[in-house]
Amino acid sequence: MAKKKNKPDFSRPKEEALEEKKQKAAEKAGAEESDFITPGAVNGITIAPDGTVTATGDTDPEDAEYDGLPLVVIAGRPNVGKSTLFNRFLHHRVAIVNDQPGVTRDPVEATAIINGKPVHLVDTGGYKLTRDIGTKEAELDDYVVERSLDMIDRADVVILLLDAGEITGEDEEFIIKMRPYWNKLIAAVNKTEGGKNEAEAWNYAKYGFNELMLISAEHGDHISDLADAITSRCDFSKVQVLSSDRPIKIAILGKPNTGKSTLSNRLTHSENSIVCDYAGTTRDVVEGEFEYAGRRFKVLDTAGIRRKAKVHDDVEYYSVNRAIKTLDECDVVFLMIDAVEGLAEQDKKICSLAFEKGRGIIFVLNKWDLREEQDNKAIKSVREWMNIMFAHMDFAPILPLSALEGKGVKDLLNTAIEMYGQLTKKIGTSSLNNALQDWLERYPPPASKTAHFKIRYMTQQSVNPVSFIIFATRPEVVPEPYVTYLKNRIREDLGYDMIPVQVEFKGSRQKWEVRKAAGGR
């Protein structure tokens, strides 16, 4: 993006004018109370185009936060060594390993570095064919299978782990169930250490797998070959590092002449954005970087957004549309509102767009110093009024500011850091479903003879924007008040109280067609 510059002084050589401008900027920076903003970068994790991660600081790549990771799922019947393989890739024990079948029930998830590249690795519960129909144990087995199949559905790579011993009925049925996922499936026959059981293991070739390999999860035999097969199938182009090294991207939006450029210049210690009393001086998106409290920020100062009827020329039309597009690039929006003039229709439009995209939003009441009433009572009054105007955004912070005097800037940036923490927060599937069970018990779904539904489980689909999927039977009949209840519980109980949370309801999988009594096939 182009950086906007002040009009040059043509009365002297360009170099002389530029030197004087730098000197004045330095003097101004020294005179202001601005110790909280310094230039520079924070070392962390870097990622190459091929997905290879490198630690340039103290952070372990497995401990860093990522977005867009390929999803790699380990699937199979109980007790074939799924948890052992999971722990092997993590180089330490996370999943419980035991000879008793069915120890893993909830999917166990972690970031694993395979061949130097990060993936989202999932150890699923085992598929059980044999169950006592109608028992609590059978219901739990159905739940485990349903969760496992959902993970397989969403996976980029599926490792179908098989036992080198006798091929069982559960193996055969699970292989049949895997047919729709053949193109993303790697069949790995486990427990073949030192050439053991190789003849039996190759019996699986009759099923026509695209890729079949023999491994030992416990002893590490041929794990490097499996790792090569996994990473060769993964797309790492969308992987982003969300460690502290990544700058928090702030879009400063609002109608013309609300002080956007004044705030941008104060934050970045520059005069990249022209500031004057004439509305509409910023046309392009102006970028700048700064550091505060050990965190890097990138600020995007945008053109003021007017009502369509007031956009008079092609340049302004482009500028306004470019400003709106920054919503796709930013993490947090500073919605600048003139504290004297109040809200405009454009503010509502920006708010709706940011809400739809799941961006963090802070209502910034700029020029607060020009108001006659500036006490806490005045702030409370404005907050109550804005909560009425933006009922669906009553969680968004409302902060007074004087960009010209620098009052309120620290509170604004502290809030942005806290908000970014919520935007990038990932919650494990087990923790989510423990919370869901608590919410369902606290306030059970309303009973209805004609609109019966059952909520099964939930997963977190993404961070930044934060979104969840709740699986239910007949999701179309879940009452809107109950949807709102669950959204509020997610926001308040899981630590997302400052940001929009997107919740999608999906139909859970139908129960498995085959229902066999214990010992039967």
Four-point Cα dihedral 253, 460, 440, 150, nearest 10: 140
45-47 and 53-55: which strand pairing? antiparallel
Burial of 23 (0-12, 13-18, 19+ CB in 10 A): exposed
Element housing 409 (H / E)? helix 409-423
- Annotated binding residue 507: no
Q: What three-state secondary structure class fits 471?
A: strand
Q: Is 301 annotated as a binding residue?
A: yes
Please indicate if the annotation marks 52 as binding a ligand: no
Tell which phi-psi region holds residue 254, choosing left (phi > 0), alpha (psi between -120 and 50) or beta: left
193 assigned to a ligand binding site: yes
Antiparallel, parallel or unpaired: β 467-473 and 240-241: unpaired
360 is in an annotated binding site: no
* 521 is known to lie in a ligand binding site: no
Confirm whether residue 256 is marked as ligand binding. Answer: yes
Is 281 annotated as belonging to a binding site? no
Nearest to 357 by CA among 249, 500, 503: 500
Whether residue 135 is annotated as binding a ligand: the answer is: no
> Is 249 known as a binding-site position?
no
Q: Is 77 annotated as a binding residue?
A: yes
Q: Is the alpha carbon torsion for 207, 211, 213, 218 positive or negative? A: negative
Ligand-binding annotation for 305, yes or no, is: yes
Residue (of 17, 120, 132) closest to 66 by Cα position: 120
| Residue 82 is labelled as binding a ligand | yes
**Does 165 count as an annotated binding residue?**
no
Does the annotation place 511 within a ligand binding site? no
| Residue 123 marked in a binding site | yes
Residue 2 is classified by DSSP as: P
The answer to whether 76 is annotated as binding is yes
Residue 484 assigned to a binding site:
no
* 8 is annotated as contributing to ligand binding: no
Question: Any binding-site annotation on 127?
Answer: yes
The answer to whether 93 is a known ligand-binding residue is no
Whether residue 125 is annotated as binding a ligand: the answer is yes
Residue 81's SS3 state is coil
30 in a labelled binding site: no
Query: Is 257 labelled as part of a ligand binding site?
Result: yes
Q: Is 367 annotated as a binding residue?
A: yes
Instruction: Return the beta strands (E) in 103-182 as ranges.
Output: 108-114, 117-123, 157-163
Q: Is 303 annotated as a binding residue?
A: yes
Q: Work out the number of other CB atoms within 10 angstroms of the CB of residue 153.
A: 12
Which own/partner pairs from 386-390 qualify as long-range (CB within 8 Å, at least 24 positions apart)? 386/343, 389/343, 389/348, 390/348, 390/351, 390/363
Q: Would you say 424 is a known binding-site residue?
A: no
Binding residue numbers for GTP: 76-83, 123-127, 190-193, 254-261, 301-305, 366-369
Binding residues: 76-83, 123-127, 190-193, 254-261, 301-305, 366-369
